Amino acid sequence: MVMDDVTLDAVDRGLVHALRIDGRAPFSRIGEVLGVSENTVARRYRRLRSSGVLRVAGTVNGTRLGYTSWTIRLRCTPDAAGSIAGVLAARDDTSFVHLLSGGTEISCNTQTRSADERDALLLEKLPRTRRVVGVSAHLLLRSYALPGTWLGPAVLSDDQAARLRPPPPEDGTQPPEDGTQPIEVGAADRALLAALAADGRAGYADLAKATGWSDSTVRRRAEALRAAGVLRYQVDIEPARLGFHAEARLWMAVRPSALQDVATAVAAHPEVSFVALTTGPTNLVAVVNCRDTEDLARYLTERVASLDGIATLESAPVIRTVKRAGPPLPL
């Protein structure tokens, strides 16, 4: 799909913010909040989706299923980064696949369902690719900010947002603390999650075909998975469409005694769309979205530099995104 040159106006931006709050909010409710008709909202959504600018993706919170999450960095030969990034993006266990810096480095996130899957990817498949000259994998231990909470695209008032906000899941980010076991999903659940990954706003009739369930069963199960914190809906849109033209990944080594304070402070920055505690020589990873390179420079030299406890910081600009939350993007 080739993305058209679409400019977002105030209604489009309100729609994007509304869908970030609730990816499956009815168009009628969004219209009421935005002060436009349901037909206008539906027409705007179809235009943005068909042009490749926006899509809603159903994503899996692997923590609730007992999965482990990793952030991976790969260094490749100059001729190989694009094709290797494409292969990674085609996997159903990866997200946010980016080409960084000069195009010889790739970063991505992955969720592995078992130790065997982890070992197959990290110890066998990647190292055996001869054009990969270096791999580092960092276990994601705790998240402080997630893409769906990024404040950058926010245009609605607190009252408007409250009218759209769905009930909070039983457990949205962290493992169960009461000793309960991870939630079990079956084959039909996986088919449902795969269909929602491709189109988070797919109709219940289409989801019923994908699972073999009735429309009513699909509706109940999707709502149950969402309430349990397994299923999330994310808006997949290029930050540049919203005016943020400088995206970068940061890796920080933070003094352990200051780690909690630094992570919380960074997560509160409006430029930040992801922060997580990791293993490895750096222990905090973040994603920032700035208006331009000068804005990014100010962020690094003023906002981050003022935080006590950061020993080292490495930054790498994103030069191409191959996959975000949803299916791979056109190369």
- 14-64 confidence digits (pLDDT tens): 999 999 999 999 999 999 999 999 999 999 999 999 999 999 999 999 988
Is position 46 within any domain? yes
The domain that holds 8 is classified in CATH as 1.10.10.10
Is position 109 within any domain? yes
Residue 323 has pLDDT above 50, yes or no: yes
Q: Which domain holds residue 272?
A: 145-154+248-318
Residues 19 and 86 in one domain: no
Please check whether residue 316 is in contact with residue 248, taking contact to mean a CB–CB distance below 8 angstroms: yes
Two tokens, residue 180: 């309960």
4 pLDDT tier (thresholds 50, 70, 90): low
Pick from 107, 140, 173: which residue ends a domain?
Answer: 140
- What 3-state class would DSSP assign to 228? coil
Is position 271 within any domain? yes
Pick from 55, 77, 94: which residue ends a domain?
Answer: 55
Residues 76 and 45 in one domain: no
Residue 275 has pLDDT above 90, yes or no: yes
Beta strand 68-76 with 105-112 is: antiparallel
Residues 73 and 51 in one domain: no
- H or E, element range at 293: helix 293-298
Is position 168 within any domain? no
CA atoms of 301 and 57, how far apart (whole Å): 35
What's the rounded mean pLDDT across residues 262-271? 96
Work out the mean pLDDT of the chain and round it to a whole number: 90
CA atoms of 234 and 326, how far apart (whole Å): 8
Residues 34 and 72 in one domain: no
Residue 99 has pLDDT above 90, yes or no: yes
Residues 37 and 85 in one domain: no
The full DSSP string for 114-130 is SHHHHHIIIIIITTT-T
Is position 30 within any domain? yes
Two tokens, residue 117: 């899957």
Pick from 140, 172, 191: which residue ends a domain?
Answer: 140
Return the C-alpha torsion angle 242, 142, 264, 61, nearest 10.
Answer: 40
Is position 204 within any domain? no
Is position 2 within any domain? yes
Residues 131 and 4 in one domain: no
Please check whether residue 289 is in contact with residue 247, taking contact to mean a CB–CB distance below 8 angstroms: yes
The domain that holds 79 is classified in CATH as 3.30.70.920
- What 3-state class would DSSP assign to 305? coil
Residue 102 has pLDDT above 90, yes or no: no
Strands (E), 40-177: 54-60, 68-76, 94-100, 105-112, 132-145
Residues 150 and 112 in one domain: no
How many domains in the chain? 3
Residues 127 and 263 in one domain: no
Is position 170 within any domain? no
Residues 70 and 135 in one domain: yes
Residue 328 has pLDDT above 90, yes or no: no
Residues 150 and 253 in one domain: yes
Please check whether residue 126 is in contact with residue 74, taking contact to mean a CB–CB distance below 8 angstroms: yes
Residues 83 and 18 in one domain: no
CA atoms of 267 and 284, how far apart (whole Å): 11
**Alpha carbon of 313 to those of 34, 70, 282, 284: distances in Å?**
41, 20, 8, 10
173-227 tens-digit pLDDT: 444 444 445 678 888 999 999 999 999 999 999 999 999 999 999 999 999 999 9
pLDDT of residue 330: 63
Residue 80 CB contacts under 8 Å (≥ 6 apart), including other chains: 131, 132
Angle at 16 between CA 15 and CA 17, to 5 degrees: 90
Taking the mean position of all CA atoms in its chain, how far away is CA 297? 24
Angle at 255 between CA 253 and CA 256, to 5 degrees: 110
CA atoms of 63 and 69, how far apart (whole Å): 8
CA atoms of 227 and 221, how far apart (whole Å): 10
Residues 131 and 253 in one domain: no
Give the Cβ contact number of residue 50 at 10 Å.
Answer: 13
Residue 3 CB contacts under 8 Å (≥ 6 apart), including other chains: 51, 52, 53, 330
